[in-house]
Amino acid sequence: MFLLGFIFKLMFYMSIPLFGILFLPCLISKKATRFVVIMWARFIIFLLNKLNGINIIFENNYIERNTGYLIAANHQSVFETIFFLKEFDHVVYIIKKELKFIPIYGWYASRLGNIFLDRKKRVTSMKILCNEVKNLLKIGYKVIIFPEGTRQEEKTIGKFKPGIFAIQKDIINMVYPIFIDSGRAWSKSGKIKRNNIRVKVLSPIKKGIKKKMFLDILRNALVDENEKNKRLK
């Protein structure tokens, strides 16, 4: 398993500059860029399954195609940033501005229309961000945010940052939590283990809830699902 995990990681890291440089002309078109990125995401998920025997169990009774959703997911590994690109149509992520300046990754992330948050100018940046989210949801995009702000260890749900509340307060859409237990198969440190990955869309959170209650409901939904998931093993 160690050897196969090593081969997968080698192919994963090599695929980024390989795809990125080979399909560089596609950056001219946003549609072509999205097609390339989706093909890359499918390739990585394919490798994850064929090389490491990792299956993805996806439970979704809420999210449909061609409709805008604000999605709040827990974050344990690189997997989350790949899976949604493969699974949903028209996906954008809310990510830190620093990632915009990483060669190849930043070029494609920018061309896809991902939303970059400037944490040094948080108030101004949040106003711009909320407006961007509102516009993207209207035209059917799935907007993904990781409220923990960074990757967590396996079987752990971290503390939530309040940005998700500021965003949902400014839009008409409900927030859809998604639980992911990717850490047990592809850990925060990058270690690959032969375990299946479970992804579950949870019940949406209603509008009109005060800040503390909203954040508690959102985090508790993911914590509860995390506890249920532990008992399934």
User: For position 233, what pLDDT does the model report?
Assistant: 60
The domain tally of the chain equals 1
In a domain, 30, yes or no: no
Pick from 172, 159, 19, 148: nearest CA to 94? 148
0.85 exceeded by pTM: yes
In a domain, 1, yes or no: no
- And the tokens for 178? 């998604």
Question: At residue 38, what are phi and psi to the nearest 5 degrees?
Answer: -65, -40
For residue 121, give the 3-state DSSP assignment: helix
In a domain, 14, yes or no: no
* Residue 123 pLDDT level (bands cut at 50, 70, 90): low
In a domain, 19, yes or no: no
105 with 16: CB under 8 angstroms? yes
Q: Tell me what the pLDDT averaged over the chain comes to.
A: 93
Pick from 215, 229, 42, 233: nearest CA to 145? 215
d(CA 16, CA 22): 10
Q: Domain span at residue 69?
A: 56-232
* Residue 206 pLDDT level (bands cut at 50, 70, 90): confident
d(CA 223, CA 233): 16
CATH assignment at residue 143: 3.40.1130.10
Pick from 99, 82, 28, 96: nearest CA to 199? 82
